[in-house]
Amino acid sequence: MKLSSILSRRLNLAGINQLVLVWAFLFVLPPIISYFCHLDLGFRDFQYVGATFTLIWTLWKLYPDPNTSIDIFSINKIFLKLFFLALIFSYTYSFIAKYYAFQLKADDIAIFQTMLNAMLAGNFGYSGAVGFYHFGTHQNYILLLVVPFYWLFHTTETLLIIGAVAIWGTALGIWFLAKLYKLNDFYAFLITISFASSPLAGVDCTFLPELFTPLFLVWMMVFYTKRTFLPFILIVIFALSTKEDAVLFVFGISLVMLYRKDFKFAIVAILASVMVFYINIAWVQPYFVHKSGMLMPTTLQFWSEYGSSKSEIVHNLLLNPKEILLRILNPASGVWRLYLPVLFLPLMIPEVFLASIVTIVMWATSNFDLQHAYKSYYGLNLNVMMFIGVIVLLSNNRLKVIMNKYSRNFYNIFLLFFLLCIIIFPLWGTGWQSFWSFDYSNVDEAKKLAVYMVNNYHDASICSSSTLYQYLSVTSLNMEFFPMSSSATTENLMNYFNRDCIYAITDLGDSYPFSPARIHQFISEKSCSEFAHGFYICLNKN
């Protein structure tokens, strides 16, 4: 019996559902253990179990007794729903527990939470966490869709749940896209769990507008594949509203649509991309940069070795193609982490290559390590495009025809090898999903502290330690900007403890970018009173 026949038909109903239930269990188990046993866990250990089980299960099903009956398999809808319910439960716990365990740093989430607070107060685009109009750095119009939810449920938890749902929705889109490309349930599910457990999916992040870009990119492909025009237009608009670099991905995909003569879809996507790009570059970004009293967007510093303006940086990059290539292939570059486990093959897909190539060049030439290595949220868009490429690749009959010209079983061997690469892929790199244990009494004390500060120091300038910032910034307090880790020089870290502020400090959880010793030194040196165990109020700097 041919291996291709076994792959497509031999995995029976009971078998595939066993695999689905095991992965559902692996996503549900860590939050339960973490909560009830008070243990901090990472999903990587559970990924090893899942990958090993999937590998053994696959090999067992690939080589059955040829005399047994063959049934076309499919995943039972009930089991599939259970899996996605387990997934959203797991993601939501990770996001909320990180906050409750005081591991959620002020980086990023505080920027957007204070932007939402400013929007509700009528000061559009301003972020108190950084002390300037952040719309001059990134154009995150998608926050306008978040505002109503944040207004109705004015808590940090609301934003964290929205962030978890965004990643979950991307995984759901991966499944639907795989099925639209007529992959069997086994391949569709394997790709879905590979994305869902990927350290590049963003589960170790927090609430960020960047989490919405992969969500809308994959659903853009879903509606394009289904040929549903009106939802496609809406999703394109949403995608372009997430962040300015979403234009690169939408425009790259739309060029392939144009080549395929899908003019209706292509023209809408191209015109929308060009219009949003022009509005951002010509109007919105200069306006908010000027309103912040700055000369240029803060992000240009990441390419300072190539120039001091956008045009100069682009010009110098175009003149140095060899250097760009060398930096892309640098061992520290994120391209190895993302594409090597799938043999760089998704980049053969035109829409993946065209959508990704500019960002690959940008991150390769950046002097910011997180961008260069695709850490934090910087690999999110490239990651989802890679998975889209895997889906298209596995559905491509032309690839099978080409490979079978060399050998009858060459494609089957390749398929099995590629299958193993997909299983192994999530085990690479850093940034796995975390499950933090927490004591809710500490959370309760932090929220009581926020109320106390509002009642007693409403008109004062408030500074805080990183993980306490979110508990205070959700209130009407006058929060001073915080030294984010990307700009955490020794000078601004030292200056932070010398401001004329009333300080709210905790020594619980993560103290980054300060050392725990520095936090304790500050508490002992200043006139700090203990509000509750682990929480301190320092009335002045002298």
Q: Encode pLDDT of 146-202 as tens digits.
A: 999 999 999 999 999 999 999 999 999 999 999 999 988 888 998 999 999 998 898
Q: What are phi and psi of 141, to 5 degrees?
A: -65, -20
The pLDDT tens digits for 206-260 are 899 999 999 999 999 999 999 999 999 999 999 999 999 999 999 999 999 999 9
- Say if CB 371 and CB 338 are below 8 A apart: no
Examine the pLDDT at 351 and tell me if it is beyond 60.
yes
Examine the pLDDT at 69 and tell me if it is beyond 50.
no
Examine the pLDDT at 120 and tell me if it is beyond 50.
yes
Measured CA to CA, the distance from residue 420 to residue 430 in angstroms comes to 20
Residue 310 carries which side chain, given as an amino acid letter? K
The pLDDT tens digits for 369-389 are 889 999 888 999 999 999 999
Q: Model-level pTM?
A: 0.91
| Confidence at 407, pLDDT banded by 50, 70, 90 | low
Examine the pLDDT at 68 and tell me if it is beyond 70.
no
Mean pLDDT for 315-332 is 90
| Confidence at 501, pLDDT banded by 50, 70, 90 | confident
What is the reported pLDDT for 64? 53
| Confidence at 434, pLDDT banded by 50, 70, 90 | very high
The better pLDDT of the pair 508, 405 is held by: 508
Which DSSP symbol is given to 294?
-
The better pLDDT of the pair 71, 435 is held by: 435
Residues 6+ apart with CB under 8 A from 426: 47, 51, 194, 197, 198, 199
Mean pLDDT for 250-277 is 96
Q: Is the dihedral of CA 131, 96, 119, 208 positive or negative?
A: positive
What is the reported pLDDT for 400? 66
The better pLDDT of the pair 527, 3 is held by: 527
Which DSSP symbol is given to 346?
G
